[in-house]
Every structure is written in C-alpha cells, then in structure tokens.
Amino acid sequence: MGNTSYSHQDWTTYAKTTQNKTTGQIFTRKGLDPSLDPKNITVRESCDSVINLNSTPIATFLDVTGSMGNMATVIAKTGLGTIMKEIVERKPVTDPHFLFGAFGDLLCDQAPLQVTQFEGGVNEMTPQLEKIFIEGGGGGNQGESPDLAWLFCATRTRIDSFLKRKKKGFLFTISDEPTPHGISNDLVKQKCGMDIERYLSPEEVLEMASRTYECFHIFLEQGSYGKSIGAWKALMPERVLVIPDYTTIAEVIVSTLQVHAGVDKTAVANSWSGDTSVVVANALKDIVPGGKKDSSSGIVRF
C-alpha cells in the first residue's frame, strides 16, 4: 500500500471535522474492527510506486489502555498532520508511508493489537485511524504489550525500502508503562493469530524487529511508572525518548528522524518554538543515529 502522498489541503479539510469532537466522537468503535484485527492480516506492505519512488515506512503504535486513549485523539486532531507536514517539509526521509497501530495488554485485553495499512495520504490514513477501538483496558500487572508491535512488524510486514535498498523502516511504540513481560505463544495465537514456537522475551522480539526497523520507544512521564525509565533504557539503549506527556509526540517523532538522518540535535531542538524546543532537546539527549546491520530479508519469519 501507500500509493498516495501527503496533501496539506487534505489535512486541513480533515482537521476541521475533528477539532470540536471528543475522543468518543472520533473513535466510535465498541469493539475490534475486523480490518485492523491481526488475525485477518497476512501482511502489511510499504511498496514503491510512481508517486513514491523511494518509500520509507514509519510505523507508530499507541498504547490505548486507560487514560492513554486520549493520545489517539491528539494524533487525530493535530499529531498526524504535524508528522506528515513536517516530514514532507524537513525531508529527513524520502516518500514516507505511515502505519498507525494500537496495543493494549496481551494478558487481559480483548483487542491487544490493532494495525492499519501503510499509507502516504491523509484521505487513505484517517478513515483507518478512526477505526481504532479505544478499549481502555489494561490490567494491574504493571505493563502493557508494545512487544506485540515489534512481533507484528518483524513477521507481518513487507517493506520495499529494505528489500530493494537495504534501508530499514522506522518503528515507534508509545506508552507510560514499564517494559513488556514478553509474549506467550498460546496467548498470541489465540488473540492475535500469530504463530510462534515458544514464549519470547522482550529482548528476543525487539531483536527480530530491529533486523528491518529502527526501533524507538517514547516513554511518557505522565503515568505512575516514572521509575521504569531505567529499565526501558536498559532494554533499548540510546533508543528511548522521554517526554512529559503526549502533546509533543509528533514533534519528537519528526525530530528523531532528523537526528537519525544526521542533523545536529541542537539545531533540531531549536527549530521548534517555546516549550516544544525544550521537550525535544531533552527527549533527544540519549539518541544516536544508526542501528544494527541489516539482515538479508525484508520480511522476517520466526
């Protein structure tokens, strides 16, 4: 997918439809939409096309448990437009394709993973974004399941950027929770339709995703698990972005892409105004460009 590109006019038109809506008015689903159910997804593809000759896949997965559902509203009202517009104008990557997903808790949620298609245009992405079910679940087990996003991208995506040019895509997970517990083969088969041979630790799943994606985690300090930052940084050295809340997610994602492309951190932070500049500077302080060497396949099977 991804045969269209960003249009600022399309975003302006869409934003007018959401600016005065609540979370419940934008995200009206009362259950998992079949089109976003990983059980029904064979593969999500980011393909080169006449419009996007050198596609770059950017997958962003949001925690939609508890109060974190409000984060999806920020994305729908302003965040998606900021991400698309600033990437097109700043050009940290070529021909961006955007995939948005949602994760909850594999142990106790009805819909622990939801995944849209890779798309380049606003009119193709926003109808899928609004299909996300804000379950608001989660459990009292001190952790959600962002590692489901890693597993999905490792085993259920096919990206031309890597297949044709050996350039990794980008994968962002966002939450205010401690590091994940790992993935049970029985539960992930039952709830997400994904087959793995045994329990996988977070380290193992992250390594799988890192073969074809530059993986980053955005940690929100707004929650009650602020002490978990150290565990996240141990799991993902130099790839954890810490921010106060979800209002600057879009700017932090764009800035991370710029730094990864080699732009000076200070220059990137100073390109934003006011408090956003300070938040971005703090988020980027431990981030360094680059990643592990790529594997030989654009779609990794476990």
Query: Which structural domain range is residue 182 located in?
Result: 8-284
**For residue 66, is pLDDT > 90?**
no
Q: Is residue 300 part of a domain?
A: no
**Tens of pLDDT, residues 226-280:** 668 999 999 999 999 999 988 999 999 999 999 999 999 999 999 999 999 999 9
Q: Is residue 121 part of a domain?
A: yes
Q: Is residue 299 part of a domain?
A: no
Q: Is residue 291 part of a domain?
A: no
Query: Who wins on pLDDT, 139 or 128?
Result: 128
Task: Please compute the mean of the pLDDT values over residues 131-151 and round it to a whole number.
Answer: 83
pTM: 0.93
Q: Is residue 70 part of a domain?
A: yes
Q: What is the pLDDT of residue 224?
A: 55
**Tens of pLDDT, residues 157-202:** 999 999 999 999 999 999 988 999 999 999 999 999 999 999 999 9
CATH of residue 81's domain is: 3.40.50.410
Contact 110, 31 (CB under 8 A): yes
Query: Who wins on pLDDT, 79 or 69?
Result: 79
Mean predicted lDDT score pLDDT of the chain:
90
Q: How far is CA 106 from CA 69, 138, 193, 203, in A?
A: 17, 9, 12, 17
Q: Which amino acid is at 16?
A: K
Share of the chain above pLDDT 70, in %: 91
Q: Is residue 12 part of a domain?
A: yes
- State how many domains the chain has: 1
Q: Is residue 293 part of a domain?
A: no
Q: Is residue 92 part of a domain?
A: yes
**For residue 140, is pLDDT > 70?**
no
Q: Which residue in 167, 139, 160, 3 sits closest to 63, CA to CA? A: 139
Instruction: Express the helix, strand and coil content of the chain in percent, nearest 5 each.
Output: 45, 15, 40
Q: What is the pLDDT of residue 144?
A: 87
Say how far apart CA 214 and CA 292 lie, in whole Å. Answer: 9
Say how far apart CA 248 and CA 277 lie, in whole Å. Answer: 10
